[in-house]
Structures are given as structure tokens and as C-alpha cells.
Amino acid sequence: MKTRSSNRRDFLKSGAGVGGALLVGADSGNAAPNPQSAQPDAAQPAPDDPTKVPGVPARPYGERSRFERILRTPSPQGTSSGTPLQDLTGIITPSSLHFERHHAGVPDIDPRRHRLLIHGMVDRPLILTMDELKRFPSVSRIYFMECSGNGYRRKGGRTVQEAHGLVSCAEWTGVALSLLLSEAGVQQGAGWIVAEGSDAAKMTRSIPLTKAMNDVLVAYGQNGEALRPEQGYPVRLFVPGWEGNICVKWLRRIKVVDQPYMTREETSKYTDLMPDGKARQFTFEMDPKSLITFPSGGQKLPGPGFYEISGLAWSGRGAIRRVEVSVDGGRIWQDARLQSPVLPIAFTRFRFGWKWDGAEVVLQSRCTDEHGDVQPVLEDLVRARGENWGYHFNPIQGWKVSADGSVQNALA
Ligand code: CO
């Protein structure tokens, strides 16, 4: 602890800020150009002509330009932070901006001391180190993940990020859970697994064995490198298409059992209270949803003319087949262009050319997945589920463009 705090003081004394400063740290006395002093904060102007000034050395671990400022934003309670989807391109969410929801802070885990235990109704219980886990054959797959509370009581969110930021999409690398379970030897009569994290909340969820043996990953990689601590470093469960909460982070234990364990996160939380007073439980799959990310709430169009409407669509049940856009408040719907690749259980980027005449309009998108499931309007969701429910919120989202070009949340 002492070493750590004195390093911390040296770090602060060296004048290093938060932006890419760790590399220079305490030994900044050498003659090489100091990347930190050469990378001033965004308040300082860049050279008028960058061809007349030698550039700075590249940093061993890349950072974005000092002029790029987009951030995850914390929820009002500070227990989650949303992705700035309105500011991102393509379908991959940078690891640094992937949404996160933590329940007792982000644990600090030494991967050399971390173990994954697989036990319960198995013939050969396993205790795996990270090195042992990484010796198994692995796979990489691009999947979205969405908190099932995304949009929860946030109908009034001003921006895409505030209203729907608890969804992201990344490439995940790991070992098929089915392989590890086969290695352990699942016994007759087993029907579920219980997954437990090593955070201070000991996040615990029950998962049917059929899903566990299908496409679940024990993931240690994200976008080509190790998981970020907020995403479960050194290892997490990834349950494709199912609510984010079940993708247990900082995974330390999988117990094979015969029935669900009725943990807090599947009884008092992450259940859907219906109008008749009963609650839907184990609603795992995330429904089809789409969002226009440009133009969207909080943005301002400079004036009439051509714009490319663009957004994201996804479904927990497979690939997106169709996205329609309405530029007249929902009277006429036209097909948007789906950009390749259109992957199952991943973000699909859609685009739609639009000429704005300067009059007030409401822009909306509506997606259909490969099973024919269509994103509903809010009124239909409320009719089916009442007013008390909060999870699995996937209504068609409208953005109102006013005559002055400002864009507001039409659901607010
Ligand atoms: Co649910």
C-alpha cells in the first residue's frame, strides 16, 4: 500500500493529468521529448501549420486526440454509465465507452490469483487459473449487450445516451461454456447453472442449462485486448442476446444445479410487474429495438437541406431483417439501408437519405428481426404491460426536429 501511494504522489508531482500521462510518470528526467508536455490540454491551441512542426513520438498505449471529449455519463444514482451512442460511428463500441452497470463498485482483481470454479452436479469439478482457461480453444464473436433496464423510467431522457445508453456492441473472445461444462461432465438431472461474480455484491444469476450449452462464452477478451475492469476483468460470462445483468462479471464460480436459485437479481430485481399484480420472471431475451442516433435529442441541425439519418438496430433473438424510417411522425414508413455486416445479436447500422425542408417533423425508426418480431409503439407496450413495468423497454423512439433545427425527445 505504501509503495502504491508514494507512486501516486510522484505521479501527481510530475504534473501528469488524466490524459495519457501514465507513460512519463516519475522518470520524466530523460532527454527524449516529453509526450505529456507536447500534448497540452485542449485549451492550448494546436500549431497553425502542423507541417512546420515536428510531431510528438507515438505513445506505447494509444490515446485519442486531446480534442476528442465524448464520455460515458453516469446515471443520477451513479450506479451505471451510458454509452454516447449519438457520437459513435459504425457498430463497434470502443471498450472505454462500453456501458457499465455496477452494483458494489468495480473490484480490483489480480489475474494471477483469480480462479474459476466449476462444481455442483458434475463428475469432475474444475478449478481453473486464467492461464489454464486460455489454453482451451477460443472463439471471437461480435455481440451487443443491453441492460434490461435500458430506458427504464427514462422516457424523458434528453439524448440517446441519457434515454438508451445502456447498450453497446463489442467483439468478445473467450471459451465456449459448453466446452468447460463437457470437461467437467454434467450429471443427469442438472437443469440450470448458477453463476457468481467476485465483486462485493457477489452478483449471482441462474441460467438454464440449455442456454449454457448453446452459445454462452466465458470471455476474457474485448475488442482485441483484455476485458476492461468495468467489463469484468479478468473474466466474465457473456450470454448472447439476453439481458446484460445475467452476463456475470468478475466470474469466479459456476455451479451446475437442478433448479434456479431465486437470487435477488431474479426475484426482487429484473422481474417485470404486470397490471394484474403478478410479475414476469426470467424474461431473458432482449426484444428488437432501433434508435435513430442522428439526428437525435440534444443535437441541432444547421438548416434545411440534405442529411443522412443514421442509427442502430438489434435483437436478442437473431439478425435484423428490416429497418423502416418515418420522417412524418409515423404516417409513411420507408426502408432504410442496412449496412454490412448484418450479424445476429449485434448492432446493425442503418442509413436513410433525407432532405429536410425546414418544417417541424418527428423522425422515427422501426425494426423487424429475422423472426418477424417488430418493434412496438409505446402505447401498445403500455396496453400489454401496464404502467409499473420498467424492464425490456423497446418502444419506437421519436425525435422531434423543430423549425430552428433543435432536436428533442418526442417520447418525453
Ligand atoms: Co428480464
The CATH number that applies at residue 302 is 2.60.40.650
Ligand 1 center–CA 346 separation, angstroms: 19
Answer yes or no: is 361 within a domain: yes
CB 375 within 8 A of CB 288: yes
End-to-end Cα, the chain, rounded Å: 49
Q: What's the gap in Å between 60 CA and the centre of ligand 1?
A: 42
SS3 114: coil
CA 64 to centroid of ligand 1, rounded, Å: 36
- Residue-level pLDDT at 155: 62
- Residue 210 CA to residue 192 CA, distance in Å, equals 8
Distance CA 334, CA 338 (A): 12
**Ligand 1 centroid – CA 200 distance (Å):** 23
Q: 270 and 303, same structural domain?
A: no
Question: Which residues, in sequence order, are CB contacts of 162 under 8 Å at separation 6+?
Answer: 73, 82, 154, 297
The residue written with cell numbers 476485458 in the block is 227
Bridge-based pairing of strands 225-226 and 217-222 is: antiparallel
Same domain, 343 and 303: yes
- Look at residue 250 and tell me if it is in a domain: yes
- Asked if the structure places residue 40 within a domain, the reply is no
Last residue of some domain: 248, 280, 312?
280
Task: State in Å: Cα 362 to ligand 1 middle.
Answer: 30
The C-alpha cell that represents 142 in the structure block = 461480435
Q: How far is the CA of 149 from the centre of ligand 1 (A)?
A: 8
Query: Phi-psi region for residue 216, left (φ > 0), alpha (ψ -120 to 50) or beta?
Result: beta
**CA 291–ligand 1 middle distance (angstroms):** 20
Tracing cell 509526450 back to the chain, one arrives at 35
247 and 115, same structural domain? yes
In the prediction, which pLDDT does 412 show?
81
Distance from residue 331's CA to the centre of ligand 1 (Å): 32
Mode of pairing for the β-strands spanning 348-356 and 361-369: unpaired
Do 274 and 354 share a structural domain? no
Instruction: Please count the other Cβ atoms lying within 10 Å of the Cβ belonging to residue 194.
Output: 19
Asked if 120 and 175 sit in the same domain, the reply is yes
Whether 72 maps to a domain, the answer reads no
Q: How far apart are CA 204 and CA 248, in angstroms?
A: 7
What is the Å distance from ligand 1's center to 144 Cα?
Answer: 16
**Type of residue numbered 3:** T
How far, in Å, from the CA of 269 to the mean position of ligand 1? 9
Domain boundary among 228, 263, 280: 280
Q: How many domains does the structure of the chain reveal?
A: 2
Residues 163, 207, single domain; the answer is yes
- DSSP secondary structure letter of residue 219: E
Q: What is the pLDDT along the chain (412 residues), one digit of tens a residue?
A: 334 444 444 433 433 333 333 333 333 333 344 444 455 666 789 999 999 999 999 999 999 999 999 999 988 888 899 999 999 999 999 999 999 998 899 999 999 999 999 999 999 999 999 999 999 999 999 999 999 999 866 567 899 999 999 999 999 999 999 999 999 999 999 999 999 999 999 999 999 999 999 999 999 999 999 999 999 999 999 999 999 999 999 999 999 999 999 999 999 899 988 888 898 999 999 999 999 999 999 999 999 999 999 999 999 999 999 999 999 999 999 999 999 999 999 999 999 999 999 999 999 999 999 999 999 999 999 888 887 778 999 999 999 999 999 999 998 8
User: Where are any strands of DSSP class E within 243-376?
Assistant: 251-257, 272-273, 279-280, 289-294, 305-314, 320-326, 334-335, 337-338, 348-356, 361-369
Does pTM top 0.85 for this prediction?
yes
Tell me, what's the pLDDT at 14?
Answer: 38
Centre of ligand 1 to C-alpha 271, Å, is 6
Q: How far is the CA of 150 from the centre of ligand 1 (A)?
A: 11
- Residues 184, 293, single domain; the answer is no
Q: How far is the CA of 13 from the centre of ligand 1 (A)?
A: 48
| Residue 73 within a domain | no
Residues 308 and 389 both lie in one domain: yes
Q: How many Å lie between the centroid of ligand 1 and the Cα of residue 391?
A: 6
Please tell me whether residues 236 and 306 are part of one structural domain: no
CA–CA gap between residue 168 and residue 144 (Å, rounded)? 5
- CB-CB contact of 305 with 278 (8 Å): no
**Whole-angstrom Cα distance, residue 245 to residue 149?**
9
CA-to-CA distance for 104 and 94, rounded, in angstroms? 24
What is the distance in A from the centroid of ligand 1 to the CA of 68? 35
Residues 314 and 383 reside in one and the same domain: yes
Based on the domain organization, do 232 and 341 belong to the same domain? no
Does residue 357 fall inside a structural domain?
yes
In a domain, residue 13? The reply is no
Q: What is the pLDDT of residue 153?
A: 60
Q: Which of 254, 280, 306 is the last residue of a domain?
A: 280
Domain that holds residue 194: 95-280
Whether 262 maps to a domain, the answer reads yes
Residue 392 Cα, ligand 1 centroid: separation in angstroms? 6
On whether the CB atoms of residues 385 and 398 are closer than 8 A, the answer is: no
Q: Tell whether 262 and 376 lie within a shared domain.
A: no
